[in-house]
Amino acid sequence: MTDAEIIEGLRQEISMVKAAYNELLNDERRKMLMLDDVPLGEIVLDPDSRMIGVNKGFEEFLGYSREEFLSMRFHDLLAEGVDIHESIFPVFKRTGIVKNITWKMKKKNGDVITVLLYGRAVYDADGNFAQARGIILNITDRVNADEALKKSEQEKALILDVMSDCIIYYDTDMRVIWANRVASKLSGIPVENIAGKYCYEICHKEKGFCRGCPVGHPMMSKEPQSGEVRAAGMVFHILTHPVLSEKGDFVGLVQVIRDITEQKMLERQILEMLSNERKKIGNDLHDGLGQVLTGISFLATALQQELKHKLPSESSSASDIVEYTKKALNMMRSVINGLCPVSEDEQGLMSALENMASGVEKIYGIKCGYVCRKPVIIADYEVCNHLYFIAHEAMTNAVKHSGCSQINIFITKNFDQLRLEISDNGVGMADCRKSLNGQGLRIMKYRASIIGADIDIINNISGGTSVIATMKVPHGEESDEQ
């Protein structure tokens, strides 16, 4: 090959190198123009971490001009972490890549922004570090939003943790998503382990929902529900609120549980005090006023007999005294019966219910049957008293609202299960659940809750309504099967 051919070959190679270099410059310009139009910053650093190139996006991030940047080193822009940069930059020059490093940077006006850096090293033909190129994303808004959300979550957790009520958030499968510390204390499950548990694992530690639990209804009706549940010798008031999506779909449930055991004990004590006061008033009337009226009746009767022989014209006045005294005694007995309808003997409840049935038939002309196939003995007088008044309220509702011609009272006890039912053949109720919101029925529910009984209202298949009270009674008392 001649010298001329060699020179021509070199000229062609030089031309190709220049063309490739120009193409690289054009690519760099196109890339810089493209990055200038997107919210990303690009920086180029020399081996001493001096700024040797920035795009418009990075200028807008921090508010400096390109000329001002080119007089700075990277750590001059940091609001914190200068020592970290000094320690990792030499490592970066060897490894050649950094990903997702977060920096706090100072803007020209003194504000601080948070950025995310992704960088790569560029090496020369000999493998020596030449420069660093980095893409920077301003994540200040996202970080601020995350911090605000985290603060809100912490405040929410603090508020809910200091509440005395147990608060739990469930998913659609009734597994715990979140619970406060009271829920942890109630269940005995550590806070960090409570997520994923079913509600019945927290409350009564059994498999499946407990009878009468107000959790199931809101899942179907998408309406709040409340009720009382007894478990492990304790009484809880449970309020459940369904959580709905924007489309109205059920997505979860918030449950508020309050321990009302002590409250129920105090309420029962107050009712017992009132009952004892009623009995005292009744006894005072019987032993005091009753004896006086009885004495007057005997004296008036004796006077009537004496005047009948001596002054016949005056005996009628004595007869009137006898008659009015008897009426006063009857009125007093009615008052005593109203104060203490259930006697304290073991047959007290059965006698009181039977008297109620006969009284309804006499007063209202409605047939009223009383069915008690075997003796029902309950030692607790207050339980008997509350059961009587539950039956009385159910009877009153039937007489006033059902339009019935027949009412029946049934009472049975099988081992530790007692059942009291008041059934009529009236018009029935359109919605038995909503009917529980009436004043009289709320009173029945309240009395039932005091003694640990459940109240159900059902429409009879043959027509009419049944109010049913069921409860457990101590094993030591007699049962129908003995």
pLDDT tens column, 212-257: 565 666 777 778 887 777 776 778 888 888 888 888 888 888 888 8
Cβ(456)–Cβ(468) under 8 Å?
yes
Q: Give the pLDDT confidence score for residue 415 in this predicted structure.
A: 80
d(CA 87, CA 96): 15
Residues 326 and 236 placed together within one structural domain of the fold = no
> Is 155 part of any domain?
no
Residue 442 has pLDDT above 70, yes or no: yes
Residue 282 and residue 224 share a domain: no
Beta bridge partners of 477: none
Q: Which residue has the tokens 């985290």?
A: 150
394 and 321 in a single domain? The answer is no
Going by C-beta distance under 8 Å and a sequence separation of 6 or more, which residues neighbour residue 296? 321, 325
Query: Does residue 22 have a pLDDT over 80?
Result: no
Q: Are residues 425 and 308 in the same domain?
A: no
Residue 154 lies in a domain: no
Q: In a 3-state reduction of DSSP, which class is residue 45? A: strand
Residue 133 has φ and ψ, to the nearest 5°, of -120, 130
Task: Spell out the SS3 assignment of 201-261.
Answer: HHCCCCCCCCCCCCCHHHHHHCCCEEEEEEECCEEEEEEEEEEECCCCCEEEEEEEEEECH
Q: How far apart are CA 43 and CA 136, in angstroms?
A: 8
Please check whether residue 111 lies inside any domain of the structure. yes
Tell me how far apart the terminal alpha carbons of the chain are, to the nearest angstrom. 127
The domain tally of the chain equals 4
Distances (CA, A) of 192 to 196, 304, 306, 325: 10, 88, 93, 76
DSSP per position, 331-360? HHHHHHHHH--S-SSTTHHHHHHHHHHHHH
Could you tell me if 335 and 355 lie in one domain? no
* End residue of a domain, out of 143, 176, 201: 143
Determine the longest span between alpha carbons in the chain, in angstroms. Answer: 179
Same domain, 423 and 295: no
**Residue 158 is assigned to a structural domain of this protein:** no
The token pair that represents 194 in the structure block: 């409570």
168 and 119 inside one domain? no
Q: What are the two backbone dihedrals, phi and then psi, of residue 194, each rounded to the nearest 5 degrees? A: -80, -25
Q: Pick the closest to residue 166 from 186, 196, 147 (CA basis).
A: 186
Q: Are residues 289 and 241 in the same domain?
A: no
Whether the CB-CB separation of 117 and 134 falls below 8 Å is answered with yes
Give dist(CA 447, CA 268) in Å, integer.
9
Beta bridge partners of 458: 466
Three-state secondary structure call for residue 134:
strand
Among 259, 277, 308, residue at a domain's last position? 259
Same domain, 310 and 416: no
Q: What is the DSSP letter of 139?
A: -
- Closest C-alpha to 276, from 381, 387, 350: 381
Is residue 60 within 8 A of residue 150, CB to CB? The reply is: no
Q: Which residues of 298-313 are buried (b: 16+ CB within 10 A; e: fewer)?
A: eebbebbeebeeeeee
* Residue-averaged pLDDT of the chain: 81
Residues 331 and 255 in one domain: no
375 token code pair: 């003796």
Give the pLDDT of residue 482: 39
Q: What pLDDT is attached to residue 6?
A: 63
pLDDT at position 51 over 80: yes
For the cut 60, the answer to whether the pLDDT of residue 38 exceeds it is no
For residue 398, being part of any structural domain is answered with: yes
Contact 455, 471 (CB under 8 A): no
C-alpha closest to that of 467 among 416, 420, 433: 420
Cβ atoms within 10 Å, residue 282? 20
Distance of CA 209 to the CA centre of its chain: 15
Partner residues linked to 139 by β-bridges: none
In a domain, 134, yes or no: yes
284 shares a domain with 312: yes
Among the candidates 308, 340, 372, a domain finishes at: 340
Distance CA 482, CA 479 (A): 6
Question: 381 and 344 in contact (C-beta within 8 Å)?
Answer: yes
User: What local confidence, expressed as pLDDT, does residue 266 receive?
Assistant: 83
Strand ranges, E, within 37-107: 41-45, 51-54, 97-106
DSSP category for residue 312: G
Residue-wise pLDDT tens digits, 309-347: 777 777 777 788 888 888 887 777 767 666 677 887 778
85-114 confidence digits (pLDDT tens): 999 999 999 999 988 899 999 999 999 999
Range of the domain at 51: 12-143
CA distance 459 to 474: 30
Q: Do 273 and 372 fall within a single domain?
A: no
- Domain assignment of residue 462, yes or no: yes
CATH number at residue 422: 3.30.565.10
**Distance of alpha carbon 317 from alpha carbon 93, whole angstroms:** 127
Give the pLDDT confidence of 372-394 residue by residue, as tens digits.
988 888 888 888 888 999 999 99
Q: What are phi and psi of 408, to 5 degrees?
A: -130, 140
Give yes or no for a contact between 52 and 45, defined as CB atoms under 8 angstroms apart.
Answer: yes
Classify residue 44: in a domain, yes or no: yes
